[in-house]
Each structure stands twice: as structure tokens, then as C-alpha cells.
Amino acid sequence: MNKKQKNNLIRIIISALCLTVIAISSVEGVLRAALYLVPYFIVGYDILLKAVKGIKNRRPMDENFLMATATLGAFALAIWEEAEGGRGDFLEAVAVMLFYQIGEWFQSYAVGKSRKNISELMDIRPDYANIEVNGETQKVDPDDVEIGSTIVVLPGEKIPIDGVIVRGNSTLNTAALTGESLPQDVSAGGEVLSGAINLTSPIYVQTTKEFDESTASKILDIVENASSAKSRSENFIARFARVYTPVVVFSAVALFLLPPLFSMGVLNAPPEWSVWLYRALTFLVISCPCALVISIPLSFFAGLGGASKAGILIKGSNYLETLSNVKTVVMDKTGTLTKGAFDVDAVHPNKLLCEFLHKAGGKHIHEDNDALEHMKRDLLHLAAHVEKFSSHPIANSLREAYPDISDGCEVENIEEITGKGISAVVNGKKIYVGNEKLMADIGAKWQYCEREGAVIHIAVDNEYAGHIIIADVIKPTSKEAIAELSSIGINAVMLTGDMEKVAKKVAAELNIKEYKSELLPADKVSALEKILLKYKEEKYLNIENLIDRVKGRKSDAIHKVAFVGDGINDAPVLARADVGVAMGAMGSDAAIEAADVVLMDDNPLKIPLAINIAKKCMKIVKQNIYFAIGIKFLCLTLGAIGLANMWLAIFADVGVMIIAILNAMRALYAPRMA
Amino acid sequence: MKKTYKIEVDCANCANEMEEAAKKTEGVKSASVNFMTLKMKVEFEDGADEKEVMARVLKNCKKVEDDCEIFFD
């Protein structure tokens, strides 16, 4: 609570107490009216002052002026009633001002609170960096740290600048960056990104970027500028607010003048000025659009905050809106649905030989799964050892698949056979690892394999031992992600530069019905354009489109197309799509620049999650719009026919605002996925 | 030239009105006020003097909402 809020709260409380005392006391007459003015001025003096300023600035539609008019009018009515010999209702005038201020106070408090909560959520800004000077660590401004300096990050501290670990092992919490709560182990030589929190032990990091160029700064930049790009809903509400107040004020004037004149002139009945004045004043109480205006940006802000908590950076509320209307997701294959790196996909040992090898080694092998696993392991073991010192990408994947490479086995006489493979002596046996040509050369009877990918054959002492398939593997969550998308009615399309048979296999495995293969980067843009064209005419009637139509503007297609890529080579496609999503973008500047939505890690499940967050947020926005406008119009109608008094009007106004704000805060929490 | 300024304002509608007022100010090409982050983004017209324009923007904003502040040096 800031000072202003505290002061206002005290004013509200004092005024409320005064009001209660006066209401239950038995003071009568002029003194009663005068006493009521005390709590009125305590709680409303600033509104009255602002109202005067509003008139000075020639702004009659100023909400303060309207509220002042409504309450002073109610006061005047009460005095007039007293003069007529009745009993005027002063309490109402003061209460309306009091509740109006309570509403304003709550709004200011809730917005301040949520502003703080959400910024804290996204607070990955490191305040300082530790530099070691003459053996002592000093805290310095991260802005002053030059590239190549070594900084110390102690346990519990945020890594301030991107870099490479030169000394120390630790575990990092990257939740603020990726939304992934699983801690990540790092050691010397490993790359670390700013914004991650060091958990266990000190690490020494050599910086590779300046502070401004580091991941944390980039992310903050996106997040802080996010809600400046406004959505159609926000613009709609701003336009609505601009016409709403004048319309209500003119209706109030009409309500005050027309019915009495009508009854006097036409019906020859008494004009009942005071009744119609009261109804007109009730209108003024409902004329402020603030409840409506506040809840919409708040919903978007919460939605953007909730998304970034889940590791999804959305660059503006307009993209959040577009994302909620996505009906087709076009995805790149390599790096998005597949890992984009070659991995051992399958190991097919030549069973008989393996058995023979094992028996020779004195082990007894049964015909069960364990045994097969054992053989696979043996085959990988041989291949990895032969490739122990090779730098070929395939060798890397083989070694990765068999991590216990330093098990003391002897590897000698390594010989590269260009274009064919490699041979070596492992534990006294001559092993060949290579393609079909190599197998043919040494007379080993190799087997054809139907699986897609690069086939690596292995022979032991000129006898065929089996083969290993190396392929770009599908990410473990890809299938689930596609299923999730189709469960929310979204059509997935895969684009790839890869061969038709590979594309077909991946598409079949992931249940993707539509795919295009063998595309050059430029072909991907035209493929996407074709898809965009196909859905361009699909329109849907909603308020925004209706306004567009009335104004003779072309309305937007409602079937939005998203493109998801890894940000490498596909910047033009990202830019061309209705909403471009870059994934696994941590550390890739180009992707962060080009995309509208940035997924911090490379988990495809984040795609449906992002869409679900957007849908939930837009649902809340719509609920708030319809609810707030609906209640306002209901109150106006009831007020016009005399069924609603000022009490109801002010309660409805404040109540709607509180409910709308609380509803908006729901957008902060990511929806649960089925 | 584009610049972002910190602002202070209490109600969301006032923020919208400030945006309108800033947009109509001479020397301002476009302006956008973000009520949630309390920031005003101003794109100046070519050759406009930033401080002069911002002083005008503040004056116009004060007219629509007396209780507002824009921080520029």
C-alpha cells in the first residue's frame, strides 16, 4: 500500500464512522443536513476539486465532474424535500460518494498489487555481478562487466550475464527462463544463461556477452514492451469508453427533461421534476466506464505474465489474441518435432553371432529380452569404441549412446577407410564399422534394413555382427503435443526440407495428416502462403468484425495460422505467419527477433499450452466485457424506469469492478491440460 | 526516434485519455500508454526536440487528468 492509498483508506474509514454516527443520531433539521456535509467533504473533497479543474479545462465529461454533479444533485434534492416538509435522504448522497471512493481505492490497490506480483514473477533482472579482484570478490554493476571477464556466481545468486563456466560444478534452476522446474546440472565448459539461479556451489563464469545482450536482458525487454502492442479487444474497449460516457450523460439530460415536459404538455399531468431528476442523477452514477476499462488490460497483463511463468514469451496482447484464434499450426519438422540432431534410433544385432561371441566369452545367453538388450549393448560398445577418436557427427552420436566409453577396453590400429568407414582392433578382435561397401569389401554378409536413417554396419573378424540405425529422432513429447492440439480442434501441418520417405514416416508416427516434404527454405514461405490463402475467406461474426463491416472496412479472417520453427533459417516463414512461434530459442537472438511468440525451451507441448493460455485469457476478457457492459445496461434500464436507486447503481458499479478484477487475475494461472 | 517514459496515473481510462492527448500533441508521430507497466512509448516526428515535445505532452495530459505525471529529464 503506498502513501496515497493509506491516506485515502483513512479518509474512507473516518467518513464511514461519521456517517454511521450521524445516521443513528436523532439530530433533525438544518443541523442534520450540515452534519452530513462533514463526511461528504472528508471523503469527496478531491473529487470536487478535480471536478472544478475539469470544468476549467472544458471537460464536462470528466468522471469527477459527473460524480460531483450526481452527489451534489442528490443533496439538493434532499434539501428540497426537507423544505417541502418531508424528510430528505442525505445519507444516500454521502454514501454514493463513499462507495465510489471505496471502489477507486480497491481498484488502485488491486492493480498495484497485481502489478507488483506479476513483475516479481518476471523478475529475472540480476542486480549485480561478483568480480574477483586480487583474490577478493567485489560486487559491481553488471553493465560494467566487459566481455571475457570472469565472474563468480555464488549459490542462491542469479547468473547476471551469459557465459561459459571455467571452474566449478553446480546445479542451476532455470525455471524463470524456461518454466521447467527440473534443475539442470552444469560443469566446466558448459554454457550458462543469465537469469538462471545457481543452486549448489560457486561457479566461475567467463562472460561471452555484454549485459544488455544477455538472455535475461533480452527477455525483460520483450516482457516489458509486451503489452504496448494492443489487442483489438483493448482498442474496442477504449473506443467504447469514449462513446459510453457522453451517451449516458446525454441520456441523463434527456431523462430529466423529456418525460416531465411530455407529461406536462401532452398528458396535462404533474411534471414530477424531482422524480426524473433523481433518475437522471442515478444515470450519472453509472456513467463512469472505469470498471470496464481496468479489467481488460489487467486480464491481458495477467495472461502475458502467466505465459512467461510457463516459459512462453508473448510479444504483445495482440499476439495473445491471435494465438487464441489459431486453428492451424504449421510446424517445421527438424528441430521442432524432431531433435534436429542425429541419435542412435535402433540397434539390430545379428543374433546368432552375438550369441556366439558371448558363449565364447563364457557367458550363457537365454533367448529373452534381457539377452537381446545385452546384445544391443555389446554392438553399441564395439561401434563406440572403434569410433572412439573420430570427430565425425555419427561417431559423436554413437559415443553419446554408449556413455561408458572409458571402460578400459583396448583400442588399437584405428584405420579410416575413406568413404566407407573405419576399422580398429578392440580387445584383440578386428572390428569394421561402416557402410555396405565396406561390408562387401571384407566379404561380410550384411543385411538390408528397412528403417529410415543412416545404417551403420558392424563386422567382427570379417563376420557380420549387425547394424545400428542413426536417425533424427522424434522428440518424446511430439506425439502428445499433436494429440493435444487435435483435441482442441487444431489442425497440424508439417513442412520439411527432408526426403519424402522420412517425412512420411514422421507424419505417420505423429498422426499428422497433412505434410509437405523436400521443400527449400523459400518453398516453405510459399507453402505457408498457400495455407494462409486457403483460410483467408473463413470469417466469423463477432463484435469487432461487425464494427468493421458497418464501417466498410475489411474484417480479419478468424482462422489464424501459426508457424512453429526453431528459428534457424525460418525467419521469413515466422514473419509471414499470422503468429510466428520460435522454440528452443534460449540464446538464439535471431529467433527472439523474428518471432511473435518465443518458447524458451524446445518442448513441443508448449505449443498447445501457449494456445490454451491464450484461449483462457481471451475467455476471461470476453467474460469481463459482456459482464461489465451487461450490468451497466441493466442498471441504466432499471434506473430509467425507477426500479433502481442510487444505492443499487453504486453497488453495481463497484461490485462489477471488483468481480472483473478478480476474474482478470485468473489469467495468471496457466490452464491445466487434459 | 522512439522513447519510453515512466508515468504515473491512477485509473485505466485516464491512461487511455493520456494516450489520446499525447497522440494529438504537436511533434508526436504516435504514442502508446501501457497502464499496467506504467509506461508511455512516444515516437517523435523527424527533427522534433524531445524535451520541448515532452513538455507539451505533459501539459496536454495534465488537461485530461490532473493527477498524472510523466518522468522525463
Identify the helix (H) or strand (E) that includes residue B32.
strand B28-34
pLDDT of residue A365: 43
**Which of A618, A564, A569, A617 has its CA nearest to residue A595?**
A564
Whether the per-residue pLDDT at A65 is higher than 80: the answer is yes
With CB atoms and an 8 Å threshold, state whether A228 touches B64. Answer: no
pLDDT bracket for residue A200 (50, 70, 90): confident
pLDDT of residue A275: 87
Kindly give the parts of chain B with pLDDT less than 50. none
Any chain A CB within 8 A of the CB of B39? Answer: yes
Range among A2-6, A48-52, A222-226, A320-324 with highest mean pLDDT value: A320-324
∠ CA A389-A394-A400, rounded to 5°: 75
Return the residue in A225, A233, A237, A248 with the most chain B beta carbons within 10 A, the one to mutate for interface testing.
A225
Terminal-to-terminal C-alpha distance of chain B: 16
Q: What is the mean pLDDT of residues A40-69?
A: 84
By Cβ distance, the residue of A59, A118, A294 closest to B12 is: A294
With CB atoms and an 8 Å threshold, state whether B39 touches A228. Answer: yes
| Sheet hosting strand A129-133, strand order edge to edge | A136-140, A129-133, A150-153, A203-207, A163-167, A191-192
In terms of phi and psi (left: phi > 0; alpha: psi -120 to 50; beta: otherwise), the region of A12 is alpha
Identify the helix (H) or strand (E) that includes residue A205.
strand A203-207
Task: Provide the grid cell at A626.
Answer: 459482456
pLDDT of residue A538: 62
Nearest chain B residue to A227 by CA distance is B34
With CB atoms and an 8 Å threshold, state whether A104 touches B10. Answer: yes
Any chain A CB within 8 A of the CB of B38? Answer: yes
- Name the pairing type of β-strands A597-599 and A579-583: parallel
pLDDT bracket for residue A359 (50, 70, 90): low
With CB atoms and an 8 Å threshold, state whether B10 touches A241. Answer: no
DSSP B46: T
pLDDT of residue A543: 61
Q: Which residue has the cell 421534476?
A: A273
Q: What part of A 56-95 touches B (C-beta under 8 Å)?
A: 57, 59, 63
Any chain B CB within 8 A of the CB of A50? Answer: yes
With CB atoms and an 8 Å threshold, state whether B34 touches A63. Answer: no
By Cβ distance, the residue of A57, A228, A241 closest to B32 is: A228
Whether the per-residue pLDDT at A482 is higher than 90: the answer is yes
Q: What part of A 576-635 touches B (C-beta under 8 Å)?
A: none
C-alpha to C-alpha distance for A1 and A109, rounded to whole angstroms: 7
What ipTM does the predicted assembly reach? 0.82
Any chain A CB within 8 A of the CB of B1? Answer: no
pLDDT of residue A508: 92
For A388-446, what is each residue's pLDDT tens digit?
777 776 777 788 788 777 777 778 888 888 778 888 888 888 889 888 888 888 888 88
Q: A129-226 maps to which CATH number? A: 2.70.150.10
Whether the per-residue pLDDT at A190 is higher than 90: the answer is no
For A119-145, what is each residue's pLDDT tens digit?
776 667 777 888 887 778 888 888 888
pTM over 0.90: no
Q: For residues A430 and A444, is the Cβ–Cβ distance under 8 A?
A: no
The minimum CA-CA distance between A149 and chain B, rounded to whole Å, is 31
Whether the per-residue pLDDT at A573 is higher than 90: the answer is no
Q: What is the mean pLDDT of residues A581-592?
A: 72
Contacts of A300 in chain B (CB under 8 A): 36
Whether the per-residue pLDDT at A556 is higher than 80: the answer is no
Residue range A312-339+475-617 forms a domain whose CATH class is: alpha beta
Task: Provide the grid cell at B1.
Answer: 526516434
Three-state DSSP at A192 gives strand
Return mean pLDDT, chain A.
83
Whether the per-residue pLDDT at A384 is higher than 50: the answer is yes
**Which of A588, A581, A408 has its CA nearest to residue A490?**
A581
pLDDT of residue A588: 66
By Cβ distance, the residue of A50, A224, A293 closest to B12 is: A293
Q: For residues A326 and A611, is the Cβ–Cβ distance under 8 A?
A: yes
The share of chain A scoring above pLDDT 90, in percent, equals 15
**Which of A343, A398, A347 has its CA nearest to residue A373?**
A347
Comparing A337 with A545, the larger pLDDT belongs to A337
Nearest chain A residue to B16 by CA distance is A238
Whether the per-residue pLDDT at A579 is higher than 90: the answer is yes
For every residue of A207-249, DSSP letters joined together read E-S-TTTSHHHHHHHHHHHHTTS--HHHHHHHHHHHHHHHHHH
Nearest chain A residue to B12 by CA distance is A294
Q: What is the mean pLDDT of residues A484-510?
A: 89
Any chain A CB within 8 A of the CB of B55? Answer: no
pLDDT bracket for residue A540 (50, 70, 90): low
Contacts of B40 in chain A (CB under 8 A): none
For A215-251, what is each residue's pLDDT tens digit?
888 777 777 776 667 888 888 888 888 888 888 889 9
Furthest C-alpha separation in chain A? 121
Comparing A131 with A368, the larger pLDDT belongs to A131
C-alpha to C-alpha distance for A345 and A73, rounded to whole angstroms: 81
With CB atoms and an 8 Å threshold, state whether B13 touches A107. Answer: no
Whether the per-residue pLDDT at A360 is higher than 70: the answer is no
Fold annotation for A341-473: Calcium-transporting ATPase, cytoplasmic domain N (3.40.1110)
Q: Which residue has the cell 569410433?
A: A387
Strands, E, within A406-559: which ranges? Answer: 411-417, 421-426, 429-434, 454-460, 463-474, 491-495, 514-516
Q: Rg (Cα) of chain B, in Å, rounded?
A: 11
With CB atoms and an 8 Å threshold, state whether A228 touches B41. Answer: yes
Any chain A CB within 8 A of the CB of B63? Answer: yes
| Polymer length in residues for chain A | 674
Q: Which residue has the cell 520483450?
A: A222
Whether the per-residue pLDDT at A484 is higher than 90: the answer is yes
Any chain B CB within 8 A of the CB of A485? Answer: no
Any chain B CB within 8 A of the CB of A298? Answer: yes
Comparing B67 with A585, the larger pLDDT belongs to B67
Cα dihedral sign, A530-A534-A537-A539: negative
Q: B2-71 maps to which CATH number? A: 3.30.70.100
For A604-640, what is each residue's pLDDT tens digit?
999 999 999 999 999 999 999 899 889 888 988 998 8
Q: Which residue has the cell 527432408?
A: A498
With CB atoms and an 8 Å threshold, state whether A298 touches B36. Answer: yes
Q: What is the mean pLDDT of residues A504-528?
A: 89
Residues of A annotated catalytic, as ranges: 332
pLDDT of residue A487: 93
C-alpha to C-alpha distance for A595 and A314, rounded to whole angstroms: 9
